[in-house]
Amino acid sequence: MHDDVKQLVAAGYDAIADEFAEWQRGIRGSQRLERLDDLLRRLPLQPDVLELGSGAGVRSTRILAERGRLTGVDISGEQVRRARERVPEARFIHADFMEVDFAEATFDAVVSFYVLNNLPRDEVSPLLDRVRRWLRPEGWFLASFPTTDNPGWRGEWLGVEMFFSGYDVPTTVGLVRESGLEVVEDAVETMIEPDYGEGRWLWVLARKPD
């Protein structure tokens, strides 16, 4: 499903790997590392973690790989190539995370940092169902979601054509609850992105019931 959009997203991140990395270094106000630190304190020693849209192997990915067994999935071949080079101890799968599958109860945590605005929003619920199935009982889900009601937008971003989509905050939080995960925390962060100004993200920390 959504093959054209998926190809566009993959080709975009392949093409702008350097520009994106540079742009990302200029972001201010991201709560990523604090949220990750909070998650790590909840996890067992050497956890099995799945990262959705794992990107090029930035610091949060390296921290997860040092702490336990990390599996990353990314649709961009160039992002996966960079991640494998930077984080050789982790396993990276080049795929759409809506197309891969794992056995039930494989992971202690599933995380996703600044990715889910690239996902067509009708795939949010199916993704949450997959996440719940892949998590062990009492496993954790930590992800940032877009915050605006956007059925789907294509346009120029960092010099390539990109796709963004998402729901407003109450809708996303409702979908997480409906998926059977228990929402432990939801909060909106405002970060400052180079050239684009304020960017708002919804952080959700949720747990699979026992």
Ligand X SMILES: C[S@@+](CC[C@H](N)C(=O)[O-])C[C@H]1O[C@@H](n2cnc3c(N)ncnc32)[C@H](O)[C@@H]1O
Give the residues lining the site for ligand X (CB under 6 A). Answer: 9, 13, 53-55, 58, 73-76, 79, 96-98, 113-115, 118-119
Minimal distance, residue 99 CB to ligand X, in Å:
8
> Which among 164, 160, 163, 127 has a CA at the least distance from the CA of 149?
164
When the beta carbons of 34 and 138 are compared against ligand X, the nearer one is 34
When the beta carbons of 99 and 138 are compared against ligand X, the nearer one is 99
Minimal distance, residue 210 CB to ligand X, in Å:
29
Minimal distance, residue 45 CB to ligand X, in Å:
24
When the beta carbons of 135 and 137 are compared against ligand X, the nearer one is 135
Minimal distance, residue 13 CB to ligand X, in Å:
4
When the beta carbons of 47 and 146 are compared against ligand X, the nearer one is 146
111 beta partners: 51, 142
When the beta carbons of 118 and 179 are compared against ligand X, the nearer one is 118
Minimal distance, residue 182 CB to ligand X, in Å:
24
